[in-house]
Amino acid sequence: MESRDEHISVLLNETISALKIKENGCYVDCTLGGGGHSEQIAKRLSPAGCLIGIDQDDYAISRAEERLASYPCRKIFVRDNFIHLPAVLDRLDVSCVDGVIFDLGVSSFQFDQAERGFSYHHDGPLDMRMDRQRTKTAADVVNHYTESEIKKIIYDYGEDKLAGRIAKAIVNRRKERPFTRTLDLADVIRSAYPEKYRRKGHPAKKTFQALRIEVNDELKILMQAVKNAILRTKPGGRICVITFHSLEDRQIKRLFNEQADPCICPPEFPVCVCGRKPTVKKITRKPIVPSAEEVQHNRRARSAKLRVVERIAS
């Protein structure tokens, strides 16, 4: 059993291998998290190499500074949202980098800290903010959004067919008293689930995922963030994206397809006349998924998918 502070990086070897690290290169970990991917990059860099780590979480930054202190490469840790990658690189006077990683999962230490409010297994304040300087929390969503808004969030972001039942149960309960705790909300969600559906995992899983995405605007910024990374990667550099649910994976698949084949000419045209040029080539035609052994050792890896593209000269 992993400890409260332990974080096991998913698809670690596959991601580092796909990145094709140059010892003097410059690499960006856009989701620093537990620092596992960053550590493996730093191990492979010479003193002339550079690692830039970005995270919204102060705790993640401090952990990474301590964990990677012994590696001789240049290390720069930035507290920011990865949507601001271009501005981060501009401030550092870095025009282009040799590779970028996005690991879109919530780090284990965030899940396991009850006070962060991500977990439906541990009681804590109903928070779910990646960036604690943001104002909107999960409690704000469940206590103040309309029933139709809550239903839409759970259906769109959680892909839960019982979104209507759950939203109704939430709104009915909040009339008695507002939600403030994670387990209180989890219990109400469970009560909205018919018994036959409860055997397919925890009833609150999809709703908690949906609330986390809403609170942190995750899907709204993801596409632009990855586009920014492509534009700031050198030809031959790799962009690696690890997703953990189908919404993210579909977005990344669609984006990579569009960037690899941007032609918008009608299919009946014998040749392209739109003049749109590809920016990447796909390294993974199908996503890389964890081995059975990895899933056995890390339950949170089971839904992970890795997609990789390589920047080409435009």
- Cα–Cα distance measured from residue 53 to residue 47, given in angstroms and rounded to the nearest whole number: 16
Inter-residue contact 154 to 206 (CB < 8 Å): yes
- What does the pLDDT look like over 243-264, one tens digit per residue? 998 999 999 999 999 999 988 8
Residue 47 amino acid letter: P
Residue 108: C-alpha distances to residues 35, 73, 100, 123, 155 (Å):
11, 26, 21, 16, 25
Look at 164-173, 179-188, 255-264 and tell me which has the smallest mean pLDDT: 255-264
Give the burial class of 9: count Cβ atoms within 10 A of its Cβ; 0-12 exposed, 13-18 middle, 19 or more buried. Answer: buried
Phi, psi of 298 (to 5 degrees): -145, 95
Length of the chain measured in residues: 314
CA distance 66 to 39: 11
- Give residue 116's pLDDT: 81
- Higher model confidence: residue 266 or residue 155? 155
Contact 207, 189 (CB under 8 A): yes
List Cβ neighbours of 99 (8 Å cut-off, separation of 6 or more): 19, 20, 21, 25, 27, 28, 233, 237, 238, 239, 240
Hunting for tokens 């301590």 — which residue is that? 66
pLDDT per residue over 99-147, tens digit each? 999 999 776 556 667 778 788 888 999 999 988 888 899 999 999 999 9
Q: How far apart are CA 52 and CA 143, in angstroms?
A: 38
Q: What is the pLDDT of residue 109?
A: 57
- Distance, CA of 31 to CA of 37 (rounded, Å): 9
pLDDT of residue 112: 63
Q: Give the whole-angstrom CA distance, residue 157 versus residue 147.
A: 15
Give me the pLDDT at residue 3, please.
38
pLDDT score, position 257: 95
What does the block give as tokens for 5? Answer: 């502070």
Q: What pLDDT does 108 receive?
A: 57
CA dihedral sign of residues 119, 300, 45, 5: positive
The pLDDT score that the predictor gives to residue 305 is 97
CB contact burial 233-245 (16+ within 10 A = b; e otherwise): beeebbbbbbbbb
* Mean pLDDT score of the chain: 91
pLDDT at res. 120: 87
Nearest Cα neighbor of 258 from 277, 286, 233, 240 is: 277
Residue 1 — very low, low, confident or very high, per pLDDT cuts 50/70/90? very low
Helix, strand, coil share (%) of the chain residues, nearest 5: 45, 15, 40
Residue 134, φ and ψ in degrees, nearest 5: -70, 160
Q: Could you tell me which of 174, 195, 32 has the C-alpha nearest to residue 105?
A: 32
pTM metric for this prediction: 0.86
For the residues 217-242, what does the mean pLDDT come to? 95
Q: What is the Cα–Cα distance from 21 to 37, expressed in whole angstroms? A: 12
- Residue 2 reports pLDDT greater than 60: no
DSSP for 205-226 reads HHHHHHHHHHHHTHHHHHHHHH
Could you report the per-residue pLDDT of 36-70, keeping only the tens digit for each?
Answer: 999 999 999 999 999 999 998 888 899 999 999 99
At 202, the pLDDT band (50, 70, 90 cuts) reads confident
Question: What's the confidence (pLDDT) of residue 270?
Answer: 83
